[in-house]
Structure 1
Amino acid sequence: MPGKERLTVGITGLGLIGGSFARAYAAGGARVLGCDADADTMKAAAEAGAISGVLTPEKARECDLLLIALYPAAAVRYLTETAPYLSGCGLVMDCCGVKRDVCRAGFALAGEHGFDFLGGHPMAGIQFSGFANSRADMFRGASMIIVPPEGGDYRLTEKAERLLAPAGFGRFTITTAEHHDEMIAFTSQMCHVVSNAYVKSPRAQEHAGYSAGSYADLTRVAKLNPSMWTELFIDNRDFLMNEIDLMIKHLSEYREALEASDGRRLASLLAKGVECEERAGR
């Protein structure tokens, strides 16, 4: 990048999300330092040219951007252990799928140790995990959610948008940790719960020849990472339980109409669903 100092990005956790960030920044010419608990993953990332060095706590302060792509509890542990080394770091962001606990810890540690922290959640991914499934264009055109500290300086979010530019996001959504978790319970977590529950029907083993696009769309995310999603669901259980209760209520309405052979009521329920989807503007 002529006339510009080379960007240094640190990434801890080189799975699907962290690995995709690493590939994207490396493809853009950045110096990428990475770390992962799995030695094979580190080897694969180095061989793929996704990282050019090992991220250590001491090297974290050299980073213009430090991305934490770990499960929420591990992200908090990493922040707690690494915080004393982060005073020279340009910006620290997590990439967790829930925000309240991680942001609470991140903002407190940032204030105590003198570094800038923002919560983050890239709204992209596939049903497969691990570095082997990562790709440089994973975030191209996707939305990146950013959670600034309460009353935070918006110049910090603008800085984040500049630093995240090589990933190719198409939109940045600024929100609070509370609102993020409430929305993500509906837009992401419920989709995984419904899909995972739906394929437990015995008919799922016999669907070949009887299914088309609607079945594929609904079942795609049934194949999930149980460990990761268990942690995300438990961390966000209040909002997720609210969505599950709403779903049970609405399903019960359909069932009651069917039991009564009430075609008028059933048609009304279906029409209401169409109306809701059209209002959502998808």
Structure 2
Amino acid sequence: MNIAVVGLGLIGGSIAKAAKQNTEHRILGMDINESVRLKAKLLDAIDEVCTTDDLPNCDMVILALHPRAAEEWLQQSAARLKEGSLVVDCCGTKRKICQIGFELAEKYRFHFIGGHPMAGIERSGFDASSGKLFSKASMILTPEQNCDIRQLEFAKRFFLSLGFARITLSTPEEHDRIIAYTSQLAHVVSSSYMKSPTAFSHTGFSAGSFRDMTRVARLHEGMWTELFLENREFLAAEIDRLVLQLQRYREAITEQREDDLRILLKEGRELKHKIDELS
């Protein structure tokens, strides 16, 4: 099977490498950066460089671009895609790309399934990619309601073969609502936390808590700006809920309401325990 990976950054490069290492498929790579294309071929991350002329011969296309670029590429390239082929995107928000993908798939007779690999590191780009990036990670798939079950089953088997430990099925709406809390809010909090001038004095005064809180502040601001704005309603609601909770803690601390503060901390500890038990 010919599989094209469009975008050879951290996620696309890792998918290409994992597919080369773990499957027998022929992997073609497409990237706007010529040096990335050449390096991917040189390092045997791909079998061949992919051009638009190759798209009609590709049985599967994995779209590993930032949201706006993915949407534009799909709109510009849909007519070239092979009839009956499968397209899976890797964007961190799903409603907009899936709306575009589902409509174009029906028009041009290919299959589209939304995807979101729940894996990443603080670095980006092809040089940071790894065939082991997805080990023990979750892959979220957001198929259309009337998705061809054979295509969905193939997608599940394919991503499991790359090292993913589980496949989570969702809808675009549910995905965006939950991801606003589990991923996007954490990045907002981490970025905001770094704005304290005290951060420059952390050496010798910090340990695991500081590292955990600041790790994802090393984000790609271009991509995360797109993700935040595409999911603004759900993310803003989560920020509002957090601000209300922080206000409760602040009032208990400044007003020295010891019992209230103890209750707040106890509630958080017990919720963490319950959630860990469900995982």
Task: Report the TM range for the smaller structure's normalisation.
Answer: over 0.9
Give the deviation of 1:112 after TM superposition.
0.2
- Tell me if 1:207 matches 2:191: no
- Tell me if 1:251 matches 2:250: no
Give the deviation of 1:164 after TM superposition.
2.2
- Give the structure-2-normalised TM-score: 0.95
Give the deviation of 1:155 after TM superposition.
3.1
What secondary structure sits across from 1:200 in the alignment? coil
**Which residue of structure 2 lines up, in the alignment, with residue 172 of structure 1?**
167
Unaligned 5+ segments in structure 2 are none
- Tell me if 1:37 matches 2:47: no
**Which residue of structure 1 lines up, in the alignment, with residue 221 of structure 2?**
226
The count of residues paired between Structure 1 and Structure 2 equals 276
**Which residue of structure 1 lines up, in the alignment, with residue 231 of structure 2?**
236
State the distance in 1 between where 2:147 and 2:16 align. Answer: 28
Give the deviation of 1:87 after TM superposition.
3.0
What secondary structure sits across from 2:57 in the alignment? coil
- Check whether the contact 2:58–2:82 (CA below 8 A) recurs between aligned residues: no
Give the deviation of 1:26 after TM superposition.
1.4
**Which residue of structure 2 lines up, in the alignment, with residue 133 of structure 1?**
128
**Which residue of structure 2 lines up, in the alignment, with residue 187 of structure 1?**
182
Alignment partner of 2:93 out of 89, 98, 101: 98
State the distance in 2 between where 1:261 and 1:68 align. Answer: 53
Deviations 1:43-71 (A, max 9, x none): 22112111121222332232232100011
Q: How does 1:41-52 map to 2 (within 5 A)?
A: 41-52=36-47
- Check whether the contact 2:41–2:49 (CA below 8 A) recurs between aligned residues: no
- Tell me if 1:74 matches 2:69: yes
| Counterpart amino acid of residue 27 in structure 2 | V
- Tell me if 1:276 matches 2:276: no
State the distance in 1 between where 2:203 and 2:56 align. Answer: 54
What secondary structure sits across from 1:92 in the alignment? strand
- Give the structure-1-normalised TM-score: 0.94
State the distance in 1 between where 2:66 and 2:218 align. Answer: 18
Higher mean C-alpha deviation, range 182-191 or range 78-87:
78-87
Alignment partner of 1:149 out of 128, 144, 153: 144
Extract structure 1 runs of 4+ deviating beyond 4 A.
Answer: none
State the distance in 2 between where 1:61 and 1:149 align. Answer: 23
- Check whether the contact 1:61–1:89 (CA below 8 A) recurs between aligned residues: no
State the distance in 2 between where 1:12 and 1:152 align. Answer: 23
State the distance in 2 between where 1:270 and 1:156 align. Answer: 47
| Counterpart amino acid of residue 275 in structure 1 | E
State the distance in 1 between where 2:124 and 2:245 align. Answer: 32
Deviations 1:132-156 (A, max 9, x none): 0000011111100001112334333
Higher mean C-alpha deviation, range 135-144 or range 150-159:
150-159
Quote the sequence identity (%). 45
The alignment's C-alpha RMSD in Å is 1.3
Distance change in 2, residues 1:48/1:89 (3 Å): farther
- Check whether the contact 1:65–1:89 (CA below 8 A) recurs between aligned residues: no
State the distance in 1 between where 2:92 and 2:242 align. Answer: 22
**Which residue of structure 2 lines up, in the alignment, with residue 114 of structure 1?**
109
Alignment partner of 1:26 out of 17, 20, 24: 20
- Tell me if 1:14 matches 2:8: yes
What secondary structure sits across from 1:61 in the alignment? helix
| Counterpart amino acid of residue 261 in structure 2 | L
Higher mean C-alpha deviation, range 70-79 or range 128-137:
70-79
Distance change in 2, residues 1:9/1:21 (3 Å): same
- Tell me if 1:64 matches 2:33: no
| Counterpart amino acid of residue 222 in structure 2 | S
What secondary structure sits across from 1:118 in the alignment? strand
Give the deviation of 1:42 after TM superposition.
1.2
- Check whether the contact 2:87–2:111 (CA below 8 A) recurs between aligned residues: yes
Unaligned 5+ segments in structure 1 are 1-6
Give the deviation of 1:89 after TM superposition.
5.3
State the distance in 1 between where 2:233 and 2:64 align. Answer: 24
